[in-house]
Amino acid sequence: MFPRPAPGHRLATATGLLALLGYLTTGAWADPHVPAPPLRPVAELKAPTRITPVSPAAGSTTPLAAFAIQSTAKVGDSPAAVSSPGYPARGWYPAGPRSTVLAALLAAGVYDDPFRSTNLAKIPKADFEVPWWYRSDFTVADTARRTLLDFSGVVSAADVYVNGRRVAAAREVTGAYTHHELDVTALVRPGVNTVAFRIRPNEPSKDLTIGWLDWLQPPPDRNMGIVRDVLVRRGGPVALRDAHVVTKLAVPSLATADLTVRARARNDSDAPVTAEITGAIGPTRFGGTVRLAAHETRTVTFSPAEVPRLRLAAPRVWWPAGMGGQPLYGLDLTARVSGTVSDTAHESFGIRDVRAPLNAAGARQYRINGRPLLIKGGGWSPDEFLRWDRGYAEDRLRYAVDLGLNTLRLEGHLEPDEFFELADRYGVLTLPGWECCTKWEGQVNGTENGEKWTPADYPVAKASMAAEAARLRDHPSVISFLIGSDFAPDATIEKNYLDALRAAGWNLPVVSAASDKSSPQLGSSGMKMTGPYDWVPPEYWYAKREGGATGFNSETSAGPSIPTLDTLRRMLTPAELDSLWQDPGAKQYHRSPSATFGTLSLYDAALAARYGAPTGLADYVRKAQLAQYENVRAQFEAYGRNATDPQEPATGVIHWMFNSGWTSLHWQLTDRYLDQNGAYFGAKKANEPLHVQYGYDDRTVTVVNNRHTTLRGLSARATLFDPDGTLRYDGTAAGLSVAGDGAHTNALTLPDSVPGLSRTYLLRLVLTDAAGREVSRNVYWLSGEQDTLDWPRTTWWYTPTTGYADLTGLASMARVPVAARATTRSDGGTSTTTVTLRNTTDGRTPSLLTDVHLVDGRGAPVLPVRWSDNEVGLWPGESVTLTAVYRTADLHGAAPRVRVSGWNTPERTVPAPCGSPHWAPCWTATRANRTTASWRSSGTAAG
């Protein structure tokens, strides 16, 4: 994020939600329809009984299944006792294999739901200002093989013990991203063994770990714990490490790809050995021998020069979603000593080419497989308590694809391996990098949080870069690493990072910063971080200045994103809901701890001035959805149209943010429960593959083609209406053609003035293909009174608005009945509900922003769900058919229903029964599948 106000301005509060808090030892969250466990004193808890059986196979990696944790303030026994098998651990808390301290305590029911109201603020911070013990037992049947502990993700540092002996000190195991491998062969015994970590408190301003700034109210434990797997490795005398494949794709032909396989062979024994290394990539086999002295490590390389078959003809090329497929290859390596398997390694990878030079305007322009790519993305947030659930991550990645986004930026908070595996599979590009405003930029950031570095910090930072480079380099979804965020590193830090990246065989672009900064070797970042982060009008995005649609904007949005009423009622108390719409100056705990973003005053002022003062909570929320839809749509449409600007092209935009790590009132396209508001559907509309749109700056009607091929024979029609439906203008442009890969063509320009047109008016755009079929529709609500921006008073977080567009005329729109008919089909655990909407009014008034929500028997949203379209505008007699795809299990045994509402459409709910007598009822199928549902589906929908 961009430089923030001084730390003293931060609030010390927070909020919550979730009966999803059954994270327990498996890391999965409980079904929220099941009551949360009652609060229990420590004495009632019993030590976990899960003991991890370790595979004896050479090359095996077994993750520890669970931990027991306890504060050192409550443990008087010695480290030797705590880390010895048989230690009773009475009164300790169960924790998952990847769990912060607070995540485990929440799962145990120690604290109330932290995502509701201000419950998070009630959790005492003092409990986390001392170290905590993590201990786990594992069994080994055969001690003939070597045994090693392999881990990263310790927040922030730890002393490590095995069977009563310390094997590493906290000064060695420090930093959330550093990778550690400890040889514990001499300590392991047949039967039960114990590993224990004495985790030190996390201080993001002092430690190179993980911190939060103004995204959300920070967790009281500051995420101390172990948030990645602790692996027990077994093997013989020779270990294989760091296996990876460097790919070189022929561009632009894509006809061939050179694969170079590298790995480190390490002799862990006291005697010299000869190891046979064999490998395979699909049907391609290769191998060789390597002689290793005692404890020697050598890099083994197989390239097309030695193995011609590693030059692939007609390779299966990996593409981002919407541009092609996402094929993956697999590398398998085996090391044998005297014919016996000593170790194995496996790595998945994709073949693609990524380049990101600076264009003539100095902006970073990404190209993938030879094609220019407009980065359209969002900022990714993990769960506030760093709880990992693969299914929930997968749901959010599906949403990203559904929105037409191609990229997610991770500012620190780098997720586990599975996240990047899912991104590979779904074709979602990722921009990982270090975070701002903590120790990571303490040496260079001036006034931000983060202390200056000591000599001990430099090797930790370099080791962190080496570990993450090795982990991320083979994922085709990863297209860069940003070694700075708000600030670029100095010469020493940059050199350490670049040396680590080169040593890891990194062959992707490296960017100096996410802001407009430079570093000595890399030079200019080619990115900008000029805001805004709070409310600006839609016109803002079209100005070729500040955060407007030129260059690459690494984090930006109009700030607040008010969730649906369903979500608001889960996260706020009745009194807080009243304050939300009645008091613009009220501190909103669910916005930010920052004084800059602590209220909704800017947003609320604009909402009231443009749409009229809210008359109640429901009116406030419905106006918010209009405002968010138009603003997010304009942001992505402006960048999309300007991608091919001849002078100052737009090359990338990251909406700040894509999602929130908790129940939030700002910076999100989808909320914590995966419900979808105006911001979501505004983004989805703007990013559709073939799109007709309006330019707020020049009144042009433009067709943008994000498909690869040129399209011809298109027709664009633009009609202007008063709010009561009176037609004031009708214009058509026929015979249009538009090239592919983000090109656009201007179809027509709306007149500056239209006789009789009201101050507030509606614009309907319809694009049809050569056969007359509608292929894109877009509805705008506009004003003859324009928003006025005070550009000279621009700050790092917004540009003031001194005059507002008059959209109050929308309040005069007549209530319009919309008929709805819905049916459902279920198959293989997935249901599809088809909804046909029709404006049945006898008058002229259209329905505006008509929303359809899939709900269960209690009226609660069924989430996640992917709609073909939503929040649509319908003129009298018009109809539209929408589809919703979701997991049948998320109905929780209820029959599906659809709830229809809108700006001027009375709310009603209609059944969506299964549409064929040959199909079993959807809700019957739900009961059969219910045991497979996890919190990620149902729990994100209900509280």
Runs of H (alpha helix) within 24-108: 79-82, 101-107
- Exposure string for 86-117, b = 16+ CB within 10 A, e = fewer: ebebebbbbbbbbbbbbbbbbbbebbbbbbbb
pLDDT over threshold 70, residue 926: no
Q: How open is the CA angle 811-817-818, to the nearest 5 degrees? A: 110
| pLDDT for 933 | 29
d(CA 67, CA 766): 58
Query: Is the predicted pLDDT of residue 708 greater than 50, yes or no?
Result: yes
The H or E element spanning position 638 is: helix 617-641
Q: Are 829 and 888 in contact (CB under 8 A)?
A: yes
Q: Return the beta strands (E) in 859-932 as ranges.
A: 866-867, 872-874, 879-887, 897-902, 905-911
486 counts as catalytic: yes
Phi and psi angles of residue 516, each rounded to the nearest 5 degrees, phi first: -80, 70
pLDDT band at 445 (very low <50, low <70, confident <90, very high): confident
Comparing 735-749, 818-832, 928-942, which segment has the lowest mean pLDDT?
A: 928-942
- Full 3-state SS string of 85-96: CCCCCCCCEEEC
- Rounded mean pLDDT of 536-557? 97
What's the pLDDT band for 922 if we cut at 50, 70, 90? low
| Side-by-side strand order, sheet with 700-705 | 690-694, 700-705, 743-749
pLDDT at 641: 97
* pLDDT score recorded for residue 15: 31
Query: What is the Cα–Cα distance from 482 to 525, expressed in whole angstroms?
Result: 9
Window from 29-33, 69-73, 443-447, 670-674 with minimum mean pLDDT: 29-33
Q: Is the pLDDT of residue 704 over 50?
A: yes
Is 34 or 271 the better-scoring residue by pLDDT? 271
Q: DSSP letters of 386-406?
A: ----HHHHHHHHHHHHHTT--
CA dist list (Å): 641 to 188, 428, 687, 708: 63, 22, 11, 16
CA–CA separation, 280 and 282 (whole Å): 6
Name the DSSP class of 31. Answer: P
What is the pLDDT, as a whole number, of residue 49? Answer: 56
Task: Flag whether pLDDT at 157 surpasses 60.
Answer: yes
* Mean pLDDT of all residues in 191-217: 96
Quickly state the pLDDT bin for 915 (edges 50, 70, 90).
low
- Over residues 396-401, mean pLDDT: 98
Which amino acid is located at 895 in the chain? A
- For residues 9-26, give the mean pLDDT: 30
In percent, the amount of the chain with pLDDT more than 90 equals 90
Asked if 99 and 23 touch (Cβ cutoff 8 Å), the reply is yes
Rounded CA separation 17/854 (Å): 21
Q: What is the pLDDT of residues 300-318, one digit of tens each?
A: 999 999 999 999 999 999 9
Q: How far is CA 39 from the centre of its chain?
A: 32
Tell the residue number behind the tokens 């959790």, with chain if given. Answer: 123
Nearest partner of 736 among 747, 726, 744, judged by Cα: 747
Q: How high is the pLDDT of residue 45? A: 43
Three-state DSSP string of 292-313: ECCCCEEEEEECCCCCHHHEEE
pLDDT tens per residue across span 484-523: 999 999 999 999 999 999 999 999 999 999 999 999 999 9
C-alpha to C-alpha distance for 437 and 1, rounded to whole angstroms: 8
pLDDT confidence band for 50 (50 / 70 / 90) = confident
Give residue-wise pLDDT tens across range 321-331. 999 999 999 99
Q: What is the mean pLDDT of residues 31-44?
A: 34
Mean pLDDT of 390-418: 97
645 burial (CB, 10 Å; 0-12 / 13-18 / 19+) is middle
Which is nearest to 565 in space by CA: 547, 557, 577, 583?
577
**CA–CA separation, 281 and 287 (whole Å):** 12
Predicted pLDDT at 35: 31
Whole-angstrom distance, CA of residue 170 vs CA of residue 158: 4
Mean pLDDT, the chain, whole residue set: 92
Left (φ > 0), alpha (ψ -120 to 50) or beta: where does 270 sit?
Answer: alpha
DSSP three-state, residue 678: helix
The residue type found at 270 is D
Closest to 271 measured CA to CA, from 248, 243, 227, 238 = 238
pLDDT(779) > 60: yes
User: How much is the pLDDT for 931?
Assistant: 30
The predicted model gives 663-673 an average pLDDT of 97
Q: What 3-state class would DSSP assign to 870?
A: coil
697 is catalytic: no
Type and span of the H or E element at 746: strand 743-749
Catalytic pick among 207, 214, 383, 486: 486
Q: What is the DSSP string of 545-609?
A: STTSSSEEEEEE--SB----HHHHHHHS-HHHHHHHHH-TTS--TTT-SSSTTSS-HHHHHHHHH
Residue 29 has pLDDT above 70, yes or no: no
pTM equals 0.92
Tokens linked to 747: 């179809």
Mean pLDDT of all residues in 443-456: 90
R_g (Cα) of the chain, nearest Å: 29
Taking the CA of residue 49 as centre, how many other CA atoms within 13 Å lie in the half-sphere pointing to its CB? 2
| Residue 939 pLDDT greater than 80, yes or no | no
Range of weakest confidence among 132-141, 371-380, 445-454, 586-595: 445-454
Distance CA 621, CA 563 (A): 8
pLDDT tens digits along 450-466: 999 999 999 999 999 99
Helical packing angle, 678-686 and 617-641, nearest 10°:
20
Marked catalytic residue, from 555, 604, 688, 787 = 555
CB burial of residue 360 (10 Å; 0-12, 13-18, 19+) = exposed
Beta bridge partners of 277: 288, 335
| Own/partner pairs, 801-804, CB within 8 angstroms, 24+ separation | 801/535, 801/536, 801/537, 801/606, 804/537, 804/606, 804/609, 804/610
DSSP-derived letter for residue 479 is -
**Cα(581)–Cα(9) distance, rounded to whole angstroms?**
24
